[in-house]
Amino acid sequence: MTLPTPEAHVRDVTEVVERRSAGESEFLQAVREVLDTLAPVLAEHPEFIEGGILERLVEPERQYIFRVPWTDDQNRVQVNRGIRVQFNSALGPYKGGLRFHPSVNLSVIKFLGFEQIFKNALTSQRIGGGKGGSDFDPTGKSDAEVMRFCQSFMTELVHHIGEHTDIPAGDIGVGAREIGFMFGQYRRITQRYEAGVLTGKGVGWGGAEVRTEATGYGAVFFAEEMLARASQGIEGYRAVVSGSGNVATYAIEKVEQLGGKAITASDSSGYIVDEAGIDLDLLKQVKGVERARISEYAERRPGSHYVAGGSVWDVPAELAFPCATQNELTGAHARTLISNGVRAVTEGANMPTTPDAVEAFQGAGVLFAPGKAANAGGVATSALEMSQNAARSRWDRDKSESRLHGIMRDVHEATYDASERYGKPGDYVLGANSAAFVRVAQAMLEQGVI
Ligand code: NDP
């Protein structure tokens, strides 16, 4: 059999995905971003071409789309759409969060599920990739409405998940409150206390210490490793951070613990600048406890100010952490950051940087860490939560954080080493994609054509 060249093979598979998933712009973006870097790996491993690995990898193993009916506080019936995509289980049970946001559709969930395969492979925790969610908008809903929605969502999802098959967790719009409501309904329907079926649980009933902080902390640990290679550190640097949810809050916390100064946070309405450094207690109170808008922070904190609309990327800093959502940092933003002297950009969110912005950073010699490596700390700690659940044990904070730190060092090393091996030392996009792809592809090859 004559094999196509790696470049031709990548082109052929990309064309199939473009035809089959026409209109799924986020998914196509994520697929192209990975496939475009894989030719050197395929040149080294022609058996991956022969084994049809790429063709299989871009097609989810299974996808569920379902109706989620619930009743609001005015007794009106509401209907949302629920989705779970089980993308790839070559390395272990499907693992990936649930996102509740009005922008959720099949393309968004497929892009996140596809990314999750590679991220999970990089953690070395033997977990496959999946993702799910709903176009339900928790903003402005009462706790009782959120509970009724979560119960209805789980009433269908229960048929598809389990501690050895598929283990969901949180993402945008899904935190400890939602995980609690969903776990309660799972337990009620199955009559089983299967703690390992969801991660991100309350620490009093099976959740892992430091899971809440893990994604943000992990991203800063990754940045620290990347900067150390370039003989720099977090200390003394200013950081611009977007978002003000789970990932952003704990990225800010770790930057401050390591001697840097985080000076911004944002939500979908605007951003705040606090040159003295973000007051974390106030941020957690406003966004976490009160679920209020970020503008509220500026009203209560002298010396800070709020900018409606706009973007945090206009604020000069050496470090940037996009931690809100996909495609929030564009080519124009990248050029502003570069001219303002940014040295490292670390993705806390999934695919927050557009392809032209990534190219601009890499062209300008700015260190750039893609989310599938840099934000892997969250899912890695979820896997540690699963281990603790299986062993019916509980680790303390120190042990949990030090395991997270160790995993992020390993992810950095594997990523950097792969960038060297495939000819572009310090290209973390190439490094993350290729290191992860080899692990998944090898497992798929060894498990036969399924
Ligand atoms: P949260 O729901 O806790 O916070 C999301 C934040 O981003 C909020 O401040 C929200 O503002 C803002 N945001 C959401 N959508 C938009 C938008 N369209 N434009 C501007 N701002 C927006 O989510 P997380 O912090 O958990 O997730 C943030 C990112 O990190 C996502 O990309 C997620 O996939 C990724 N991630 C999360 C992990 C986790 O462990 N939670 C793990 C790995 C990656 P507003 O309040 O106005 O909506």
Q: What is the distance in A from the centroid of ligand 1 to the CA of 315?
A: 20
Cβ–ligand 1 contact at 349 (below 6 Å): yes
Residues 6 or more apart whose Cβ sits within 8 Å of residue 101: 133, 135, 137, 172, 173
Q: Which atom of ligand 1 is nearest to the CA of 326?
A: 32
Average pLDDT over residues 240-268: 98
Cβ–ligand 1 contact at 323 (below 6 Å): yes
Q: Which atom of ligand 1 is nearest to the CA of 243?
A: 9
Cβ–ligand 1 contact at 215 (below 6 Å): yes
Cβ–ligand 1 contact at 218 (below 6 Å): no
CA distance 118 to 90: 11
Contact status, residue 101 vs residue 81, Cβ threshold 8 Å:
no
Q: What is the distance in A from the centroid of ligand 1 to the CA of 318?
A: 22
pLDDT in tens, 318-351: 999 999 999 999 999 999 999 999 999 999 999 9
CA distance 176 to 94: 20
Residues with catalytic function: 131
Q: Write down the pLDDT at residue 1.
A: 76
Q: What is the distance in A from the centroid of ligand 1 to the CA of 408?
A: 21
Q: Which atom of ligand 1 is nearest to the CA of 200?
A: 40
Residue nearest to atom 23 of ligand 1 (CA): 172
Q: Write down the pLDDT at residue 110.
A: 98
pLDDT in tens, 137-182: 999 999 999 999 999 999 999 999 999 999 999 999 999 999 999 9
Average pLDDT over residues 371-376: 98
Q: What is the distance in A from the centroid of ligand 1 to the CA of 263?
A: 18
Cβ–ligand 1 contact at 247 (below 6 Å): yes
Average pLDDT over residues 49-74: 98
Residue nearest to atom 30 of ligand 1 (CA): 349
Q: In the chain, pLDDT over 90 holds for what percent of residues? A: 100
Answer yes or no: is pLDDT of 185 > 80: yes
Q: Which atom of ligand 1 is nearest to the CA of 99?
A: 34
Tell me how many degrees the CA angle 48-52-58 measures, rounded to the nearest 5. 105
Q: Which two tokens stand for residue 320?
A: 């940037």
Helix, strand, coil content of the chain in percent (nearest 5): 50, 15, 35
Residue nearest to atom 31 of ligand 1 (CA): 349
Cβ–ligand 1 contact at 133 (below 6 Å): no
pLDDT in tens, 8-29: 999 999 999 999 999 999 999 9
Cβ–ligand 1 contact at 170 (below 6 Å): yes
Answer yes or no: is pLDDT of 85 > 80: yes
Backbone angles phi, psi at 333, to 5 degrees: -60, -40
Q: Write down the pLDDT at residue 266.
A: 98
Q: What are 80-83's contacts with CB under 8 Å, separation 24+?
A: 80/134, 80/135, 80/136, 80/149, 80/153, 81/134, 81/135, 82/132, 82/133, 82/134, 82/153, 82/156, 82/157, 83/109, 83/132, 83/133, 83/134
State the greatest distance between any 2 C-alpha atoms of the chain, in Å, as a whole number: 71
CB atoms within 10 A of CB 167: 27
Residue 260 DSSP SS3: coil
Q: Write down the pLDDT at residue 184.
A: 98
Residues facing residue 133 across a β-bridge:
83, 99
Q: Which atom of ligand 1 is nearest to the CA of 249?
A: 25
Taking the CA atoms of residue 367, residue 408, residue 315 and residue 139 in that order, the dihedral angle to the nearest 10 degrees is 140
Cβ–ligand 1 contact at 26 (below 6 Å): no
Residue nearest to atom 2 of ligand 1 (CA): 172
Q: What is the distance in A from the centroid of ligand 1 to the CA of 332?
A: 22
Q: What are 88-91's contacts with CB under 8 Å, separation 24+?
A: 88/57, 88/60, 88/61, 88/117, 88/128, 88/129, 88/440, 88/444, 89/61, 89/128, 90/128, 90/440, 90/443, 90/444, 90/447, 91/120, 91/121, 91/126, 91/127, 91/128, 91/439, 91/440, 91/443
CA distance 278 to 282: 8
Residues facing residue 69 across a β-bridge:
79
Cβ–ligand 1 contact at 375 (below 6 Å): yes
Backbone angles phi, psi at 222, to 5 degrees: -65, -45
Q: Which atom of ligand 1 is nearest to the CA of 174?
A: 2
Q: What is the distance in A from the centroid of ligand 1 to the CA of 424?
A: 31
pLDDT in tens, 189-200: 999 999 999 999
- 411 falls in which pLDDT band (50, 70, 90)? very high
**210's torsion region: left (phi>0), alpha (psi -120 to 50) or beta?**
left
Q: What is the distance in A from the centroid of ligand 1 to the CA of 38?
A: 29
- 62 falls in which pLDDT band (50, 70, 90)? very high
Residue nearest to atom 42 of ligand 1 (CA): 378
Contact status, residue 248 vs residue 321, Cβ threshold 8 Å:
yes
Residue nearest to atom 10 of ligand 1 (CA): 267
Q: What is the distance in A from the centroid of ligand 1 to the CA of 442?
A: 33
What DSSP state is assigned to residue 338?
Answer: H
Q: Write down the pLDDT at residue 51.
A: 98
Residue nearest to atom 29 of ligand 1 (CA): 349
Q: What is the mean pLDDT of the chain?
A: 98
Q: What is the distance in A from the centroid of ligand 1 to the CA of 245?
A: 6
Residue 129 DSSP SS3: strand
